[in-house]
């Protein structure tokens, strides 16, 4: 059984994340969207809100579930028997950052990181830009799923 986790902050989930998840569904038997909890980080949306946005968006998609975790991503993978980490790549900066993390994770475990390149339509979207638009009262409906704009 091919089980992957898609780790991130999802503050909030965007159409970019959704593109990666939807394209990964045919590749895996199960995808756990894993919200990392970092007590030193300040979030715009609470953990409950971020989890609920994802659950509502993937309601009825049997292969996708949402969990939260603390600590090392590879330890979480081992706890839930996931062999793959799914990540999205938008640009060279993402690649450099992800490369170091994937190498580190490989040095700590057998878990493989699988990268998908973003779609051209969503490659410019980031949660931080969405937060900026929200804070400045701009229209962000085309950047996020309905569950986020409904909140």
151: annotated active-site residue? no
> Taking Cα atoms as reference points, which of 13, 9, 6, 2 lies closest to residue 148?
13
127: annotated active-site residue? yes
123: annotated active-site residue? no
> Taking Cα atoms as reference points, which of 113, 117, 114, 8 lies closest to residue 54?
8
Q: Do the Cβ atoms of 2 and 27 come closer than 8 Å?
A: yes
51: annotated active-site residue? no
50 belongs to the binding site for ligand ADP (CB under 6 A): no
49 CB-near residues (< 8 Å, 6+ apart): 12, 151
Q: Which of 125, 130, 134, 148 binds ligand ADP (CB under 6 A)?
A: 125
Chain centre to alpha carbon of residue 14: 9
Number of residues located near ligand ADP, criterion CB under 6 A: 18
63, 67, 90, 131: the catalytic one is 90
10 belongs to the binding site for ligand ADP (CB under 6 A): yes
| Residues within the interface to ligand ADP (CB under 6 A) | 8-10, 14, 16-17, 19-20, 87-88, 90, 94, 118, 122-123, 125-127
**Which residues are the active-site residues?**
17, 41, 90, 127
């Amino acid at each position: 059984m091919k089980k992957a986790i898609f780790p991130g902050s999802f503050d909030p989930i965007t159409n970019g994340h959704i593109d990666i998840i939807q394209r990964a569904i045919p590749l895996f038997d199960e995808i756990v969207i894993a919200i990392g909890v970092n007590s030193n980080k300040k979030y715009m949306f609470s953990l409950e809100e971020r989890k609920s946005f994802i659950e509502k968006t993937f309601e009825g998609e049997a292969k996708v579930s949402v969990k939260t975790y603390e600590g090392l991503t590879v330890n979480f993978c081992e706890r839930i028997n996931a062999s793959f980490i799914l990540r999205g790549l938008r640009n060279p900066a993402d690649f450099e950052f992800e490369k170091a993390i994937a190498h580190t994770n490989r040095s700590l475990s057998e878990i493989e990181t699988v990268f998908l390149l973003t779609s051209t339509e969503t490659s410019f979207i980031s949660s931080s830009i969405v937060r900026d638009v929200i804070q400045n009262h701009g229209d962000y409906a085309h950047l996020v799923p309905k569950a986020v704009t409904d909140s």
